[in-house]
Structure 1
Amino acid sequence: MRKAYQALGRFEFGLAAIGAGICLFVIMMITVLSVFGRYALHMDLIPGAYNIIERMLFPLVVFWGLPLAHREAFFPRLEAFTAMMSVPIRSVVGVLMLVVELVIFLFLLWYMLRYSITSLQTGRTMQLGSGYFPVWPFIMMVPLAIGLMAIETIWQICRHILYFAGRGPAPASMSDPLTGEG
């Protein structure tokens, strides 16, 4: 199970580092070319550049980076407020908060999956210049990101339960922020 979790971590890292990195680079290039064309050549070199960035590339940067941010604890968590509680209470509160988080992620996953499937079935497009470009492949990345975050939340819940049952190490969120001890 740990190997699958580590493989999932490498996949999330690839999405964030490579996928989002490439999108960020393309956003910079589109911006530079668009500004150069507008002010130096007095023409639009990339028709619909704003739409490309706003509706395709920027959402990819965000949704490809979210799962890794959630895994690496950069994603805001309410467990920071439980640091003053005793370890057993902290564990129970941590599990309850993770369950609430999981319910929210599963609701978002269900809703976004329905929206993505509808976009695929209808062939959702957006106008770029005088033509249309399919946008549904970009919409499909949203349920992927939310699904990865739900899997990470399930993993964290299992780690808390195993710790509480005495069958595993303390989850990282259980350690005392000052001493590092669980």
Structure 2
Amino acid sequence: MNNTTILNTFRFIVLVFFQVTVFNNIHFFGFVTPYPYILFILLYPLNTNRHLFLIFSFLLGLILDIFNNSGGVHTTACITLAFVRENLLKMAFGYSYEFHMMRITDKFSSELVTYVVTSVLIHHTLLISLEVFNFNFILEILLRIVTSSAFTIILIFLIIGLIKSPRK
């Protein structure tokens, strides 16, 4: 087992643990819930098997669906985000995104902000739309998407700031 596998396994377990025990119990104003577990999908290495990545994303969503009794909405959102991640990286970082992924947490840049914000919005839009699944509540859906996304984005950048490698 190499260091990348150990790091990703540790990241998977820690993010699921904190999502299930801490973040799922946070409901600001009754509807704002952060979902920073998607950081696993955002930071997963590019030089690995794509099929394995999709399986891990599926398992991430499935575990959260089991703990939340949410009927597959987390799984659908995770698989969708994992599937479009490469296109999001190309959009944010350009075609040299593979080089940037090596150093994605080294510094905050406009590319990183674009990547994280777009990814979170896609994930949350799908997750919350499927969760509510009633167009009579379109204002509530939009409000939950915007507020939960903003809170998740802030948390993701705080977590990235904490795990950022020190300057050499």
TM-score, normalised relative to structure 1: 0.28
Tell me which structure has the larger Cα radius of gyration: 1
User: Given the two structures, how large is their TM-score scaled by the length of structure 2?
Assistant: 0.29
Q: Which has the higher strand share?
A: 1
